Chain A
Amino acid sequence: MTSILVPSRRSVLRTGLAATSLMAMPAILRAQGAAVKLGIIQPVTGALANDGDLGKLGAELAVQDINAAGGLKGLGGAKLEIVFADSRSNPETAAQETERLNGEGVAAIVGGFGSGLCATASQAASRYDLPYLIDVGVADQLTQRGLKNTFRFSPSFGMVTKSALERLVALNDAAGKPARTVVIVHEDGLFGSGLAKLLQAELPKLGFEILETVSHPSPARDMANVVLRIRSLQPDLVIPSNYYGEFVLLARTMQQQRVRPKGIYAILGGGASSLRFVKEFPQAAEGVMDCNHWPDPKNPLTAELRKRTEAAGRAFAYNVPMNYSAVRLMAEAIEKAGAPDRLKIIEALSTQSFSSGVMPYGQSKFATGQNTSAMPLNTQVQGGDVKVIAPESFAEAKANFPFKA
């Protein structure tokens, strides 16, 4: 028998649910038609917060634009509403926050940044058939786990390395093969070590001699030794793969110790494709090349996004256009699905093709979750700005190689 004074579990639940839906009411009332909730997950605190913060900004700008242009057209102009989650640069939190997003009833999730974070978040989302679009998370395995809900907008690690090596050979050949010897400098986490391994296997086949592979921890307190080794080896090329802080330390120490290789060719380098680095250390940055995520420079929206990023007080980096484009793609998928229905969105993402926003991917189409047309661009810091130098169809400038100051 249920006493009147002692509420049963069920009645507590019922009241709780009623209260929750009451609290959610204002949001529903505000939008004309029901707003579609879109989960955005980024690490805005912790070690990767700089990237997460920029990614979040990109997503917000996209939602602003979509809503300002009349919302989701296929859904009677329903507005998009962001439910934001901070993964705190921690894979466990990323999974927990994904559970929360599911509880809040989002139709899909966009974001992640960082392979480890994307891995746990998309896994958690897969339990609820919640469509998950990865912005940046380069580990190849992410789309090879057989998760039907998981899609990656950007190129995988393997795709980036392949492009980077092809373009390196082309660059070197075009300049009369000035570079033959290489030193690889990489951070010792999953991303840097994996990349170094790939390079060690591939570079010799392409006629390059690897003089040494130097790994360092992140955060590193000091790059003096790394640079000392580079100086004693006198390589033609230095290929760094690390995060922003360490990249800056490396580039500056090299400049100070007067180590001037014929080129610094970063692959997914943390600093070379960030305007913050260029702005703060114009001398150390000049001439640094990078093969990385980068928006189509010929798309007028790219320049506009850069302006809006700077207006928000941030230095432009690829995270903004990447997430801007990914959110637009997801909105298109929801429209194509015709309803904020998770299974239908997954179906649309798996079978249809989409515009790629400002990223240079043409039409995006997913095969086993990977965007097959995704690719990185090659950039070089020239005259205090980041210029695309390859491939030809997107290039804004000629490569300065071998580097002449």
Chain B
Amino acid sequence: MYAPQILIEAALNGLMTGAVYALIALGLTLVYGVLHIINFAHGALLTVAMFAVWGAFALFHLDPYWAMLGIVPLMFGLGYGLQRFVIGPASHGSDNNVLLVTLGLSIVLENALLALFRSDTRALDSDAALQVVELGPLLLSTPRLIGFAASLAVTGLLWLVLNRTDTGRAIRAVAREKLGARLVGIEVDHVYAVTFGLGCACLAVAACLLMPTYYVNPRSGAAFVLVAFTIVVLGGMGSIAGALVGGLIIGVVESFSGLLLGDSLGQIGIFLIFILVLLVRPTGLFGARA
């Protein structure tokens, strides 16, 4: 039906898009795995990061890839502050409250962006946006290739942080056993905030990778967040490897079902594979805890 070249390109497109999905899901799954927060503000925070990338370009003509150096620490700081001074105190330790607080936060953020920027759709015309890498007959979008590589790198880096550093050990300890961690002298509130900050930092990287080709308006994060939630559940809630593999699978499935069924129905493929995996493995692909 389609030439093999088209199918290969669709698969590669799917992998590249999926890698960025994975990055967005990574922040979500990390925050869930440690803080047990189902973070409804994830999409809004992604939008904030995307506006930051856009702002850096509009004001200083800063290339999104270079902007990463500034925006990642900024978003980390924002995440740290939000958890430490807003979500943590406002939730009083109750999971239900956390849901409401993050939901409220997303509404506040979205409307603040709306007030600041109106609902205009904005995009940036960076040099990288239109470049392609020619691989024989294949035309691969340079920003997507960069996105793919960067997503893999960040996932690896995050894995290293969690498994090889003291901070990572503390995070894992808190995730396992909050009280025990506190008893051995781990500052739980600080670890919570760091984790939330890391989640936001992942979003910042994703925003920098998306903005060369995507657009931003006060609601654009929402387009990604449902997919991210799906990936988190598919991969196994709280699993880093699960987020990566889940993201790549979803990307490829979306790409092929989009190609074969039309883009409108492409989304169906995502939910079909989602239901299928959950039927076979209710804990998700890499989920350990039930």
Contact = CB atoms under 8 A, between A and B. Distances in A.
Contacts of B131: 256
A256 B132 contact: yes
Interface stretch (A135-143, A241-249, A331-339): A241-249
Contacts of B2: 232
Interface string A32-53: 0000000000001111111011
A264 B90 CA distance: 53
B10 A49 contact: no
Contact of B6 (A44, A232, A249, A276): A232
Interface residues of B, number: 42
Interface stretch (B154-162, B186-194, B209-217): B209-217
Interface string A224-251: 1110110110000000000011001100
B119 A46 contact: yes
B283 interface: no
Given A226-B263, A232-B6, A221 B114 contact: no
B219 interface: yes
A322 B277 CA distance: 51
Contacts of A283: 130
B121 interface: yes
B224 A255 contact: no
B267 interface: yes
Contacts of B119: 44-50, 52-53
Contact of B13 (A188, A219, A225, A255): A225
Contact of B259 (A188, A217, A229, A258): A229
A248 B121 contact: yes
B3 A232 contact: yes
A258 B255 contact: no
Interface in B104-158: 111, 114, 118-125, 129-132, 139, 141, 144
A47 B219 contact: yes
B259 A225 contact: yes
B17 A224 contact: yes
B94 interface: no
Interface residues of A, number: 40
Contact of B120 (A50, A188, A228, A232): A50
Nearest to A187: B264
B81 interface: no
B263 A216 contact: yes
B139 A257 contact: yes
A280 interface: yes
Interface string B1-13: 0110010011001
B129 A225 contact: no
A252 B123 CA distance: 11
Given A45-B114, A219-B220, A224-B13, A248 B266 contact: no
B137 to A, nearest CB: 11
B262 interface: yes
B263 A281 contact: no
A215 interface: yes
Contact of B129 (A44, A252, A282): A252
B141 to A, nearest CB: 6
A50 B13 CA distance: 30
B258 interface: yes
B46 to A, nearest CB: 12
A199 interface: no
Contacts of A252: 123, 129-130, 213
A133 B222 CA distance: 33
Interface of B: 2-3, 6, 9-10, 13, 17, 111, 114, 118-125, 129-132, 139, 141, 144, 213-215, 217, 219-220, 222-224, 227, 255, 258-259, 262-264, 266-267
Q: Give 4 nearest A-B pairs by CB, closest first.
A: A49-B119, A216-B263, A188-B264, A225-B258
16 contacts: A46-B219, A53-B118, A214-B263, A215-B264, A219-B223, A220-B263, A221-B227, A222-B13, A222-B17, A224-B13, A225-B13, A228-B6, A228-B10, A232-B6, A256-B132, A280-B124
Interface of A: 44-50, 52-53, 188, 214-217, 219-222, 224-226, 228-229, 231-232, 244-245, 248-249, 252-253, 255-258, 276, 280-283
Given A216-B263, A225-B266, 16 more contacts: A47-B219, A53-B118, A214-B262, A219-B219, A219-B220, A225-B10, A225-B255, A225-B258, A228-B259, A245-B217, A245-B220, A248-B215, A255-B130, A256-B129, A256-B132, A256-B213
